[in-house]
Structure 1
Amino acid sequence: MRPKRTFLVHDDFWQGFVKLGGRHQVAAAVVATALTFTPVGLLTWALATHAQGAVQDSNICNNRYLMRGFTGNSDVYGLGIRLGIYLQWLASLIANPLLERERATMAGSYLTFSLALAIAVLLLAFQHECAFTSEIIIVLTIFWGGTLLVMVPFVQLLADIATTGLGLALVPLILSMLPVSAWFWLRLALYGELDFAATPGGTSFFLLGRITSQHLQAVSWFMAVLCLILCVIPVFSSICLCLVLFLDWAGQRPPEWRADQEEKARKDKILDRLQRLMKRRTEVMGEKPPKKWPMVMSGTLIASWSIIAVELTLVWNSVKGVYNVRSTGQIIALVVGLGILVKVLWLLRHGRASG
Structure 2
Amino acid sequence: MELHALPSTRPNGDPVDALSAAHLLPTRQNQRTQPDLGELQDSNVLSSSHHEIFSRNRTNIINPGARRNTFRRRRRSCKRCCIDCRHFCVVFWKELWMRGTCCDIPWWVMPAYMLAVSAMLAAWCWVILVSDKPPTAIDLSQCPSRVSGQQATLFTSKIYFEQFNYTLWNARRIWEDEQLCAVGFQGNSDIYGLGIRIGLYLQWFSSLLANHALVETRKSLSQAYLIFSLAIFITIMVMTGRSECDFTIELVMLYIMFFGGFLCVFYRPNLISKENPPKWLGMTWHRAITMCLYGVMIGHAAWFWPIGYNSSFVKMPCGTTLFFFGPISDVSFIPLRVLLGLATICGAVEFAVLYPLFVILFSEEIKRSILESAVYQGLFPRHQYARIEEQDESATDSTLARWWAKLARWHRKMRSRLAFLKLGLFKEAKAVEGRAKIWSHVFNGVIGCGSFIWSISAIELIISWNKITGVHNIDTTGQYIPLVIGICSLVTVLYELIKDHFRRKASLHQGELAADDAARHRD
Match of 1:350 in 2: 499
| Partner-residue secondary structure (3-state), 1:199 | coil
Alignment check: 8 A CA contact 1:104 1:154 kept: no
**Bigger radius of gyration, 1 or 2?**
2
C-alpha distance in 2 between matches for 1:321 and 1:315: 12
Q: How many angstroms apart in 2 are the aligned matches of 1:224 and 1:23? A: 37
Q: Say which of 23, 30, 39 aligns to 2:99.
A: 23
C-alpha distance in structure 2 between counterparts of 1:72 and 1:239, whole Å = 40
Deviation at 1:295, TM superposition (A): 2.6
Native 8 Å contact 1:64 1:71 kept in 2: yes
> Contact conserved, 1:185 with 1:221, CA < 8 A, in 2?
yes
- Alignment equivalent of 1:225, drawn from 342, 349, 368: 342
Deviation readout 1:164-185 (Å, 9 max, x if unpaired): 1144212211111111111110
* Aligned counterpart for 1:203 among listed residues 320, 326, 337: 320
Counterparts of residues 1-355 of structure 1 (less than 5 Å): 22-24=98-100, 25=105, 27-35=108-116, 38=119, 41-42=122-123, 45-46=126-127, 48-49=129-130, 54-55=135-136, 56-66=138-148, 67=181, 68-153=183-268, 163-165=282-284, 166-187=286-307, 193-247=310-364, 267=384, 286=411, 289-291=436-438, 292-351=441-500
Matched letter for residue 210 of structure 1: P
- 1:88, 1:341 within 8 Å by CA — same for their partners in 2? yes
Q: Which amino acid aligns with 1:173?
A: L
Equivalent residues of 2:204, 2:265 under 8 A apart: yes
Which structure 2 segments of 5+ residues have no match? 1-71, 149-180, 273-277, 416-435, 505-523
CA deviations on 1:75-99 (whole Å, 9 max, x unpaired) are: 1111111111100110011111111
Cα distance in structure 2, aligned partners of 1:97 and 1:8: 34
Q: Deviations over 1:256-311 (max 9, x none)?
A: xxx9xxx999528x9xx99x989988966746514233332221111000111111
Is contact 1:32-1:243 (8 Å) kept? Answer: yes
User: Which one is further off, 106-115 or 58-67?
Assistant: 58-67
Q: How far off is 1:73 after superposition? A: 1.2
Answer whether contact 1:179 1:231 (CA < 8 A) is retained.
yes
> Measured at CA, do residues 35 and 81 of structure 1 come closer, stay the same or move farther in structure 2, by a change above 3 Å?
farther
Kept after mapping to 2: 8 A contact 1:71/1:321:
yes
Change (3 A) 1:83 1:41: farther
Q: For the structure 1 residues 42 and 306, does the alpha-carbon distance in structure 2 shift closer, same or farther, using more than 3 Å as the test?
A: same
Deviations 1:96-116 (A, max 9, x none): 111122232222111111111
1:207 deviation in Å?
A: 1.5
**How many Å separate the matches in 2 of 1:15 and 1:266?**
36
User: Contact conserved, 1:131 with 1:196, CA < 8 A, in 2?
Assistant: yes
Q: Report the AA paired with residue 42 of structure 1.
A: A
Cα distance in structure 1, aligned partners of 2:263 and 2:437 = 16
Tell me which amino acid in the other structure corresponds to 1:137: V
CA deviation after TM superposition for structure 1 residue 39, in Å: 5.1
Pairwise CA distance, 1:122: 1.0
Length-normalised TM-score, structure 2: 0.55
Mapped contact 2:319–2:330 kept (Cα < 8 A): yes
Letter aligned with residue 344 of structure 1: V
- Kept in 2, the 8 Å contact 1:91–1:340? The answer is yes
Q: Distance in 1 between matches of 2:342 and 2:279?
A: 26
Is the CA contact (8 Å cut-off) linking 1:107 and 1:151 kept in structure 2? yes
Percent identity reads 26
What is the alpha-carbon distance in structure 1 between the residues aligned to residue 288 and residue 185 of structure 2? 39
- TM (norm. structure 1) is 0.78
Q: What displacement does 1:331 show?
A: 0.3
> Does the residue aligned with 2:222 lie in a helix, a strand or coil?
helix
CA distance in 1, matches of 2:83, 2:231: 33
Partner-residue secondary structure (3-state), 1:71: coil
The aligned counterpart of 2:26 is none
**Structure 2 contact 320–329 (Cα < 8 Å) conserved:** yes
Question: Cα–Cα, structure 1 residues 333 and 38, in superposed 2: closer, same or farther, change >3 Å?
Answer: farther
CA RMSD of aligned residues (A): 4.4
Counterpart CA distance in 2 for 1:78 and 1:178 is 25
**Cα offsets for 1:25-46 (capped at 9, x unmatched):** 5621332454456356435534
C-alpha distance in 1 between matches for 2:492 and 2:292: 29
Is the contact made by 1:175 and 1:231 (CA closer than 8 Å) also made in structure 2? yes
